Amino acid sequence: MDFADLGLTPDTLKAVSDAGYLTPTPIQEQAIPVVLMGRDVLGVAQTGTGKTAAFTMPMIDILADGRAKARMPRSLIIAPTRELAAQIADNFAKYGKYQSLSMALLIGGSSFTDQEKALERGVDVLIATPGRLLDLYERGRILLNDVKLLVIDEADRMLDMGFIPDVERIVGLLPKIRQTLFFSATMDKEIKKLADKFLMNPKEIAVSLPATAATTIEQGVVAVRNDDKREALRRILRVKDVHNAFIFCNRKKDVDILYKSLTSHGFDAVALHGDMPQSKRNETLAKFKAGEAELLVCSDVAARGLDISNVSHVINFDVPVNAEDYIHRIGRTGRAGKEGHAYTLASPADVKLLAAVEKMLKQAIPTLVIDELAELTISSSDASDEKSTGKRERGRPRGGRSAKPRAKKEPAPKTVAAQSDSTPAVEQVPDTVSEAAPKAASAEALPQPSPESPPEKTESEKPKADQPRKNRDDDRRSPNERARKTRRNPHGIAEMDIGDDVIAFGGFTPAFLQDAPYRAGESARSQTGQSEDETDS
Ligand code: AMP
């Protein structure tokens, strides 16, 4: 199908052609004609599928006729983050450049005065984050009773971020007769319930299975101790010659720490997280987008929706707390059919989180084999050796930690070795992580923290090496005491008894340790007989 077959106006088609798009993506092909007919849409689509254009293009044509009155926007788009809202505004500017629609962007962290002025003039399209929109509404600066078209973008993210009550309030202020387009990357029960509330007889469009990664992304896991993550990251950046990457941390504090560490090692990095002033966030993003900084160290505020082309790598410095965020994070690379690489550093404390990610993906993530990382990488034998001594051997020089010296150095394979055991990781996950750790709730049953909340301790929070570790040999605690400790811990294994530097997987060998990266002379890929292409998952 061609864009010309979708019913768009010549002006929009011209803008599409200027953008260099040859054919519509599946969500565009299905959604554009339906939106142009005035029907509600329930779209299940992740970022990277072209969904923003799927709603902005027809909206531009629908709104082309008519005039906005002061303070009464004709359409409203609600987005969860400021960055996403700003990106939607960019899309309007790009596809609407031959039409004279007016637009306002209402996001926190920017001046009220400018936003109020824009509203005062009257806008065809209002793009807003929920909090700022309600603020302006409460100040009497905006009236929503002329909104004929509503878009709710990234509904699942809104839910995660606790914005749904605000969204419900906003929708309650809109006319009942309107067109509503509702998009979400996933469609679980709660989201479906919301959609049922907001939509009338919608056309349901799902362009890919929820929670699947783009097939152009090479994924890999590197198993390292928590203390070695930064060194491992630096080596990956150097060996893979990474010049354009997102590096995700779970906590804002760790974003700052890692950013400082990388810059002190001479890397060209910038940092982005939700505690930074909006002006700084904009400046940082603009710098990274323009290629003026190579590495964006960030929290999950940058995980969704951000569309920056040619990002070659995503590196998860931490395994995300919410498994679904893995999909969103790695979706920053491999965009629009391009090749991308997504690597995850996983320490023993991340085992449960990683298992949850693999369960969601319905496949094990292959082990990333890089020769230069071998001395840092944990092998299963390392794990059991250290477990048997109960603690890590002190005073060993960095790089001397491999359980067994490698017989022969193999050249680093260029791509990820395929998992030789294709058994889904979820089936291999026991309830306990280590023998020392009490039974933990399953990863899914754990309370869902906010996207930026901590799954593990930072370097500064960790006990000093020579201090006795609290509860290190806690066998004397009663089962009740252990259970209490487990309950107190909101995030499962990472902060339970195993501690950050105690290497113990109990009887469990996670999928990423079952590979055979150390087998001399052959990669696991060659053992499976898979081609390079087949390992892209
Ligand atoms: P989105 O899913 O909206 O974040 O879009 C992902 C990327 O795909 C953006 O960089 C768009 O510019 C690009 N894109 C959208 N539609 C098309 C298309 N039909 N052909 C090629 N690229 C597209």
Q: Whole-angstrom Cα distance, residue 46 to residue 382?
A: 39
Least confident of 52-66, 87-101, 267-281, 429-443: 429-443
b vs e for 480-498, b when ≥16 Cβ sit within 10 Å of the residue's Cβ?
eebeebbeebebbbbbbbb
Cα(48) to centroid(ligand 1), Å:
6
What is 55-83 written as a DSSP string?
A: HHHHHHHHHTSS-PBTTB-SEEEE-SSHH
Give the pLDDT confidence of 191-219 residue by residue, as tens digits: 999 999 999 999 999 986 444 555 678 89
Give the pLDDT confidence of 465-516 residue by residue, as tens digits: 333 333 333 334 444 444 444 333 222 223 333 333 333 333 344 444 444 3
CA dist 46 → 31, 84, 280 (Å): 14, 13, 27
Nearest residue (CA) to ligand 1, atom 20: 21
Residue 213, pLDDT score:
55
The four Cα atoms 277, 80, 178, 134 give a dihedral, to 10 degrees, of -40
Burial class (CB in 10 A: 0-12, 13-18, 19+), 520: exposed
Cβ–Cβ under 8 Å, residues 213 and 330: yes
Cα(336) to centroid(ligand 1), Å:
6
The alpha-helical segments, DSSP class H, found in 294-411 are 323-330, 351-361, 380-389
The letter for the amino acid at 432 is T
Q: Whole-angstrom Cα distance, residue 127 to residue 273?
A: 21
Cβ–Cβ under 8 Å, residues 355 and 424: no
Nearest residue (CA) to ligand 1, atom 12: 50
Cβ–Cβ under 8 Å, residues 151 and 55: yes
Kindly list the protein residues whose Cβ atom lies closer than 6 A to any atom of ligand 1: 21, 24-25, 28, 47-53, 307, 309, 335-336
Cα(266) to centroid(ligand 1), Å:
34
> 45 or 430: whose pLDDT is higher?
45
The letter for the amino acid at 260 is K
Nearest residue (CA) to ligand 1, atom 16: 50
Cα(47) to centroid(ligand 1), Å:
9
Q: Per the structure block, which two tokens stand in for 340? A: 């991308």
Residue 448, pLDDT score:
34
Cα(416) to centroid(ligand 1), Å:
27
Return all residues near 417 (Cβ < 8 A) that are at least 6 apart. Answer: 366, 367, 368, 369, 515, 516, 517, 523, 524, 525, 535
Nearest residue (CA) to ligand 1, atom 17: 50
**Angle CA(282)–CA(285)–CA(289) in degrees, nearest 5?**
135
Cα(49) to centroid(ligand 1), Å:
6
Which atom of ligand 1 is nearest the CA belonging to 3? 19
Mean pLDDT to the nearest integer, 405-417: 32
CA dist 396 → 30, 189, 393, 401, 464 (Å): 60, 51, 7, 7, 16
CA dist 294 → 159, 217, 285, 370 (Å): 32, 19, 11, 21
User: Is residue 163 over pLDDT 80?
Assistant: yes
Which atom of ligand 1 is nearest the CA belonging to 21? 20
Cα(21) to centroid(ligand 1), Å:
8
Q: Taking all residues of the chain, what is their mean pLDDT, rounded to a whole number? A: 74
Return all residues near 261 (Cβ < 8 A) that are at least 6 apart. Answer: 230
Match 């399209």 to its residue by tokens.
125
Predicted model pTM: 0.55
Cβ–Cβ under 8 Å, residues 463 and 469: yes
Return all residues near 255 (Cβ < 8 A) that are at least 6 apart. Answer: 249, 271, 272, 273, 297, 298, 299
Model confidence band, residue 85 (pLDDT cutoffs 50, 70, 90): very high
> 237 or 114: whose pLDDT is higher?
237
Could you tell which of 2, 16, 21, 205 is best to mutate to test the pocket of ligand 1, judged by most ligand atoms within 8 Å of the CB?
A: 21
Model confidence band, residue 186 (pLDDT cutoffs 50, 70, 90): confident
Q: Map residue 361 onto helix, strand or coil.
A: helix
Which atom of ligand 1 is nearest the CA belonging to 52? 3
Mean pLDDT to the nearest integer, 236-257: 94
Q: Whole-angstrom Cα distance, residue 275 to residue 79?
A: 19
Cα(326) to centroid(ligand 1), Å:
20
Cα(27) to centroid(ligand 1), Å:
10
Cα(274) to centroid(ligand 1), Å:
26
Q: Map residue 377 onto helix, strand or coil.
A: strand
Of 411, 409, 81, 360, nearest to 219 (Cα)? 360
The four Cα atoms 256, 258, 264, 265 give a dihedral, to 10 degrees, of -160
Q: Per the structure block, which two tokens stand in for 38? A: 């005035």
Nearest residue (CA) to ligand 1, atom 6: 48
> 110 or 168: whose pLDDT is higher?
168
Residue 275, pLDDT score:
84
> Would you mind telling me the total number of residues written for the chain in this entry?
537
Which atom of ligand 1 is nearest the CA belonging to 49? 2
Cα(24) to centroid(ligand 1), Å:
9
> 14 or 330: whose pLDDT is higher?
14
Looking at residue 451, the DSSP 8-state letter turns out to be: T
Q: Per the structure block, which two tokens stand in for 433? A: 């992580």
Nearest residue (CA) to ligand 1, atom 13: 50
What number of CA atoms fall less than 13 Å from residue 519's CA on the CB side? 13
Mean pLDDT to the nearest integer, 119-135: 94
Phi-psi region of 50 (alpha: psi -120 to 50; beta: other; left: phi over 0): left
Q: Which CATH class is domain 217-395?
A: alpha beta
Could you tell which of 28, 307, 328 is best to mutate to test the pocket of ligand 1, judged by most ligand atoms within 8 Å of the CB?
A: 307
Enumerate the β-bridge partners of residue 313.
245, 341
Where along the chain do the CATH 3.40.50.300 domains lie? 3-206, 217-395
| CATH match of 3-206 with 3.40.50.300 | yes
Model confidence band, residue 336 (pLDDT cutoffs 50, 70, 90): low
Q: Whole-angstrom Cα distance, residue 449 to residue 400?
A: 37
Model confidence band, residue 7 (pLDDT cutoffs 50, 70, 90): very high
Provide φ and ψ at 184, rounded to 5°: -150, 145
Which atom of ligand 1 is nearest the CA belonging to 45? 2
Mean pLDDT to the nearest integer, 148-177: 93
Return all residues near 238 (Cβ < 8 A) that are at least 6 apart. Answer: 372
**Angle CA(510)–CA(513)–CA(518) in degrees, nearest 5?**
170
